[in-house]
Structure 1
Amino acid sequence: MKLFITVAFLLLNFLAYSQKNIKMYNERKGDSLTFYVDNNEIYPVSLVFNGQPEAENLRKPDVFKTTQVIPGKTSRYRVTYFVVNDKKKGWNLKKMPGYQSYIGDITIKQYDKNYQYDLPFGKGKAFWIHQGYNGTFSHQNENSLDFIMPEGTEILAARDGLVIDIVQHNDKSCPTKNCAAFGSYVSVLHPDGTIAQYFHLMQNGAKVKVGDSVTKSQPIAQSGNTGWSSGPHLHFVTYLPSSTGEKQRITVKTLFKTGHGDKVEYLEEKKSYARGY
Structure 2
Amino acid sequence: MKKFLILIFISQFCLIFSQKNVKMYNERKGDSITFYVDNQEIYPVSLVFNGQPETENLKKPELFMTTQVIPAKTSKKRVTYFLVNDKKKGWAIKKMPGYLMYIGDITIKNYDSTYQYDLPFAKGKAFLMYQGYNGTFSHQNENSLDFVMPEGTEILASREGLVIEVVQSNNKSCPTRSCAPFGNYVSILHPDGTIAQYYHLQQNGAKVKIDDAVSKGQPIALSGNTGWSNGPHLHFVTFLPSATGDKNRITIKTLFRTGDGKKVEFLEEKKSYSRAY
Compute the displacement of 1:12 (Å).
2.1
Which residue of 2 is the match for residue 7 of structure 1?
7
Which residue of 2 is the match for residue 73 of structure 1?
73
Task: Measure, in 2, the Cα distance between the counterparts of 1:169 and 1:143.
Answer: 26
Which residue of 2 is the match for residue 216 of structure 1?
216
Q: Which runs of 5+ in 1 are unaligned?
A: none
Q: How many aligned positions are there?
A: 277
Contact 1:3 1:93 in 2 (8 A): no
Task: Measure, in 2, the Cα distance between the counterparts of 1:203 and 1:83.
Answer: 54
Contact 1:17 1:101 in 2 (8 A): no
Which residue of 2 is the match for residue 178 of structure 1?
178
SS of 1:247 mapped into structure 2: helix
CA-to-aligned-CA distance 1:123-171 (integer Å, 9 cap, x gap): 1111110000000110000000000011111000000111001100001
Contact 1:44 1:103 in 2 (8 A): yes
Which residue of 2 is the match for residue 150 of structure 1?
150
Task: Measure, in 2, the Cα distance between the counterparts of 1:156 and 1:182.
Answer: 22
Compute the displacement of 1:177 (Å).
1.0
Task: Measure, in 1, the Cα distance between the counterparts of 2:3 and 2:30.
Answer: 14
Task: Measure, in 2, the Cα distance between the counterparts of 1:45 and 1:2.
Answer: 34
- Aligned residue type for 1:66: T
CA-to-aligned-CA distance 1:210-245 (integer Å, 9 cap, x gap): 001111000000000000111110000000111112
Task: Measure, in 1, the Cα distance between the counterparts of 2:238 and 2:246.
Answer: 16
TM-score normalised over the length of structure 2: 0.98
Which piece of structure 1 moves more, 123-132 or 93-102?
93-102
Task: Measure, in 2, the Cα distance between the counterparts of 1:16 and 1:142.
Answer: 33
Contact 1:14 1:99 in 2 (8 A): no
- Say whether residues 1:98 and 2:93 are aligned partners: no
Q: Which runs of 5+ in 2 are unaligned?
A: none
SS of 1:129 mapped into structure 2: strand
Task: Measure, in 1, the Cα distance between the counterparts of 2:167 and 2:191.
Answer: 22
TM-score normalised over the length of structure 1: 0.98
Task: Measure, in 1, the Cα distance between the counterparts of 2:84 and 2:173.
Answer: 59
- Aligned residue type for 1:24: M
Compute the displacement of 1:90 (Å).
2.2
Contact 1:22 1:40 in 2 (8 A): yes
Task: Measure, in 2, the Cα distance between the counterparts of 1:63 and 1:47.
Answer: 15
- Match runs of 1:62-211 below 5 Å: 62-211=62-211
Compute the displacement of 1:187 (Å).
0.3
Task: Measure, in 1, the Cα distance between the counterparts of 2:168 and 2:32.
Answer: 47
Which residue of 1 is the match for residue 273 of structure 2?
273
